[in-house]
Structure 1
Amino acid sequence: MTKTADHPLLSDFGVAELIEWRRNLHRQPELSGQEERTAETVGAFLANTAPDRIITGIGGYGVAAIYDSGTPGLRVLLRCELDGLPIEDLADVPHRSTSPGKGHQCGHDGHMAILAGMARILGQQRPASGAVVLMFQPAEEDGSGALAVVNDAAFDALKSDYAFAIHNMPGIPFGQMLIKDGPVCCASRGMTLRLTGRTAHASQPEMGLSPMAAISRLMPGLTALSSPSGTPTGDFGFAVVTVTHAQMGAPAFGIAPGEARLFVTLRTLTNAAMSSLVERAEALAQEVAQGEGLDLEIGYSDVFVTTENDPDATAVVRKAMEEAAVPCNVGLLPMRASEDFGHFGRHAKAAIMLLGADEDRPALHNPDYDFPDELIPIGVKIYAAILKQLIGPERAAP
């Protein structure tokens, strides 16, 4: 395990406590918008660190703690996520999820433990100037949480000059950090197409109006809107359209179908490119539906804007990592995956970092993924180095 003495206020015992706390969160995951018990657990931990203020119920079940120096200076927000995934936990560990069909395969339990470590430190030593906000955000996995937080009236008390987030990432050497300025996570959204015709007896399909031909055209037609390159570069040079679910009619042999649904994920590097892709996808769907004489309904969910790193925030991270001797490079960025952290960039100079969880570890969202506990003190070290760059060394709390 990585030595925990990287910060004098985070002892070996303190890290062991954070590990057990993380594992308890792992046993009891809650889905996006349902994180009531998780929020209560977080709030109880934060209360024991004596912050100057705790705010609950932000954007749903969001929890924030403010640690104020009492002197003028920058305000820095550090963010993690509360929610798990609707995935069965198959990891061979004693702390495997006890909630059927739910798991923390994205490592949000580990992100919470890192911020809990920062709360322990800030509770003992306030920053030299300014203030630190620890934001435990709900509903990241469906893209709704960050937007709900920043649109909540309570967020006015949390607005900061800088905002930072860490996301663990398998496939990257352990403890190595990836960061770059500009777009780092893609915009994406779930597009639902509902095609309605008319059912008929299977012996007389000509008496109905089946969506079969439309679905058969739309699945390859929509995926053909993807760009040839699999690398997300350029404003309009990258797009991925993925059919994720198709349903047509009832599971019966005597009924010719009269309705179908198609779930499609749209993905681009920038918000402008997403607008263009949405326009093209909708035009194709309308053309096909009209050609087959079908009614069409289009809906959207899981909407993520692009996440862009501010150049100044990125420069702060790079300098802090150089002084903290944490390996830092661009690596595979920008990445195809989406993150709702981009909404914080509307209110602060923001940057998100990817922290290597090991090259041989299962990928995120795999049923056997488990956050490596050894990353907790490294994440704390990274955040402490960033805070030192912006608001100076700590002073004893009153």
Structure 2
Amino acid sequence: MTLTRQDLSDIAAWRQALHRRPELSGAEVETAAMAAAFLRGAGAAEVITGLGGHGVAGIFPGAAPGPTVLFRAELDALPILEASGAPHASEIPGRAHSCGHDGHMAILAGLARALGRQAPARGRSVILYQPAEEDGSGAAAVIADPRFPAIAPDLAFACHTMPGIALGSAAIAEGPANCASAGMRIVLSGRTAHASAPETGTSPMNALAKLMPGLTALGRGGPLEAEFSLVTVTHATMGEACFGVAPGQAELWCTLRTLTDNRMAALRAAAEALAREAADENGLGLSIAYRDVFDHCDNAPEATAHWRRALEAEGVPHDTALFPMRASEDFGRFGQNAPSAMVLLGAGIGGPALHNPEFDYPDALTETGARVFIRLARDLLG
């Protein structure tokens, strides 16, 4: 179960083709088609498409009964204007694979080639290309798909490329790996008035002025410990852009972030109570909605131990750096029904960060990443 230089060249070219045509969450039509075609070409016994939207799963069965092991990567890109200068840079203005998802797909493409040549001795390997990771909706949609129970895993694994870790090194740790987060949209509704007679209307100004510092005071960040919480105001509007009208409506967007799901429930309740109080004090209507909701991601001890053994067997240096992370990750939902763990694979030190317009996944990482996934599959399934 090894990859040749030709394999790595083919996969790099495929990854760069994906990079040129990035698609946003829920719209990964072309990306999913390329993933399905690759899995079929690699020898998957079955390829499921349209899973939870545009998800794709390739199934590689073994000869004997055994566990089902899920290996997951993401399909979607970001609404960012790329500035990497790479020859294979995005051809679609305002969209880019600036989070390395195309690279994660490439690493699992390497695993697919290896599994196609040498099937597992037992059980099943399932390579899942998940849609809509960036907005937190994809994993839930995949799990809710009526076809998912047939491939539900006994163990689940994923990786994320990570600038700041040396190329060829990794990080893995037990316990909370990624924070829970939720995008909260607050709408305050009053009544507009002429700017010369604001007293005849109902302005959301005072409520908005109270909520911005009030919400951020609920979560000030700090050490990533059990009681960690952070509220970040990300967007605010009030009224129209004119001088003749006193405003009658305002919107406030903020991101709530906690280390665990339990702590998130308490933070949401406190934020909602503060919004109701501000609206009631000022005679305003109130609506609250959530989107981009992520459960926290936890690295189970059993799954983490499997990662460590695979890294050590392949001679990949690793530590626990960067865990837990403030950033959120949709992979956490798969861990609610099966032991799961995510490893961070170093993209190098000194380069652009994730979600930076200049970031481009380093193709040199694919060989290391695929080699570790292949070792993991071989250790678990023979």
Partner of 1:258: 248
- Is 1:131 aligned with 2:116? no
5 Å-filtered alignment, 1:74-93, equals 74-93=67-86
How many Å apart are 1:227 and its aligned residue?
Answer: 3.7
Partner of 1:4: none
Partner of 2:193: 200
Partner of 2:27: 34
Contact 2:221–2:230 (CA<8 Å) still a contact in 1?
Answer: no
The C-alpha deviation readout for 1:286-322, integer Å capped at 9, x for no partner, is 1111111111100000000000111111111111211
Pick the aligned partner of 2:174 from 172, 175, 181: 181
Partner of 2:273: 283
5 Å-filtered alignment, 1:19-30, equals 19-30=12-23
Partner of 2:225: 233
Give the AA of the match of 2:140: L
**Runs of at least 4 residues off by over 4 Å:** none
The C-alpha deviation readout for 1:327-363, integer Å capped at 9, x for no partner, is 1111120000000101111222111111111121111
The C-alpha deviation readout for 1:62-118, integer Å capped at 9, x for no partner, is 000000112112221100000001111111111111111111000100011111111
Give the AA of the match of 2:118: Q
Matched residues in 1 for 2:251 and 2:152: separation?
Answer: 41
Partner of 2:261: 271
Matched residues in 1 for 2:247 and 2:38: separation?
Answer: 54
Matched residues in 2 for 1:20 and 1:68: separation?
Answer: 27
Partner of 2:136: 143
Matched residues in 1 for 2:108 and 2:85: separation?
Answer: 26
Partner of 2:317: 327
How many Å apart are 1:228 and its aligned residue?
Answer: 5.2
Give the AA of the match of 1:158: I
Pick the aligned partner of 1:373 from 347, 359, 363: 363
How many Å apart are 1:195 and its aligned residue?
Answer: 0.2
Partner of 1:159: 152
Alignment size in residue pairs: 382
Q: CA RMSD in A?
A: 1.0
SS of the equivalent of 1:222 reads helix
Contact 2:158–2:341 (CA<8 Å) still a contact in 1?
Answer: yes
Matched residues in 2 for 1:102 and 1:306: separation?
Answer: 27
How many Å apart are 1:163 and its aligned residue?
Answer: 0.6
| Percentage of matched positions with identical amino acids | 52
Matched residues in 1 for 2:132 and 2:315: separation?
Answer: 33
Matched residues in 1 for 2:169 and 2:179: separation?
Answer: 22
Partner of 2:87: 94
Give the AA of the match of 2:274: L
Partner of 2:239: 249
The C-alpha deviation readout for 1:127-152, integer Å capped at 9, x for no partner, is 12211000000000000000100111
Give the AA of the match of 1:205: P
Range that drifts further, 137-146 or 210-219: 210-219
- Is 1:52 aligned with 2:21? no
- Is 1:384 aligned with 2:377? no
- Is 1:212 aligned with 2:202? no
Pick the aligned partner of 2:100 from 101, 107, 110: 107
Partner of 2:161: 168
Partner of 1:317: 307
Partner of 1:359: 349
Give the AA of the match of 1:131: R
SS of the equivalent of 1:45 reads helix
Pick the aligned partner of 1:16 from 9, 13, 35: 9
Matched residues in 2 for 1:379 and 1:221: separation?
Answer: 44
SS of the equivalent of 1:224 reads helix
Matched residues in 2 for 1:254 and 1:175: separation?
Answer: 61
Partner of 1:293: 283
Contact 2:183–2:254 (CA<8 Å) still a contact in 1?
Answer: yes
Matched residues in 1 for 2:289 and 2:82: separation?
Answer: 30
Matched residues in 2 for 1:257 and 1:119: separation?
Answer: 57
Matched residues in 1 for 2:170 and 2:337: separation?
Answer: 24
Matched residues in 2 for 1:332 and 1:274: separation?
Answer: 21
SS of the equivalent of 1:365 reads coil
In structure 2, the gaps of 5 or more residues are: none
How many Å apart are 1:26 and its aligned residue?
Answer: 0.5
Matched residues in 2 for 1:41 and 1:323: separation?
Answer: 32
Pick the aligned partner of 1:223 from 216, 221, 228: 216
Partner of 2:183: 190
Matched residues in 2 for 1:338 and 1:320: separation?
Answer: 25
Partner of 2:36: 43
The C-alpha deviation readout for 1:18-61, integer Å capped at 9, x for no partner, is 11111110110000000011111111111111211111110000
Contact 2:82–2:358 (CA<8 Å) still a contact in 1?
Answer: yes
How many Å apart are 1:326 and its aligned residue?
Answer: 0.8
